[in-house]
């Protein structure tokens, strides 16, 4: 199991006990190590120690993140025409995927 450092831009500024390093008189706050688990390989927790660090990173770099794959048109999913049914909650419209029969 390997480690990488959290990519949160302010991770090293959070005042928690696990981030304090150094000897008396020269202490520092250090970025957390992120343990690499098999079940984290496809998630943000591969690079960030917490949701807060991820949000700080995203808010800091959002313009560059969006520039990687800009969206110029909306995405669409084809569906069958919606209909009201007795099975839907309080007469709401029931929207079925394209291949489903209602």
Q: What is the pLDDT of residue 60?
A: 94
| Number of neighbouring beta carbons within 10 Å of residue 73 | 5
* pLDDT band at residue 32 using 50, 70 and 90 as cut-offs: confident
Q: How long, in residues, is the chain?
A: 102
Q: What is the pLDDT of residue 62?
A: 92
Give dist(CA 66, CA 76) in Å, integer.
Answer: 19
- Average pLDDT for the chain: 78
77: three-class secondary structure by DSSP: coil
Rounded to an integer, the average pLDDT of 37-42 is 73
- Write out the H or E segment, with its range, that includes residue 83: strand 83-84
Q: Is residue 73 part of a domain?
A: no
Q: What is the pLDDT of residue 61?
A: 93
How many structural domains are present in the chain? 1
Q: Is residue 80 part of a domain?
A: no
DSSP code at position 25: T
Question: 40-76: per-residue pLDDT in tens?
Answer: 677 777 888 888 889 999 999 999 999 999 999 998 8
79: three-class secondary structure by DSSP: strand
The whole domain housing 19 covers 3-68
Q: Is residue 102 part of a domain?
A: no
Q: Is residue 10 part of a domain?
A: yes
């Amino acid at each position: 199991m390997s480690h990488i450092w959290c990519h949160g831009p302010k991770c090293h500024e959070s005042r928690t006990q696990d981030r304090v390093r150094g000897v008396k008189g020269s202490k520092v706050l250090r970025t957390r190590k992120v343990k690499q688990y098999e079940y984290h390989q496809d998630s943000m927790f591969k690079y960030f120690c917490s949701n807060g660090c991820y949000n700080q990173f995203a808010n800091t770099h959002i313009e560059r993140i969006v520039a990687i794959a800009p969206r110029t048109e909306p995405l669409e999913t084809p569906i069958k025409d919606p209909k009201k049914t007795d099975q839907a909650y309080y007469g709401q419209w029931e929207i079925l995927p394209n291949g489903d029969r209602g």
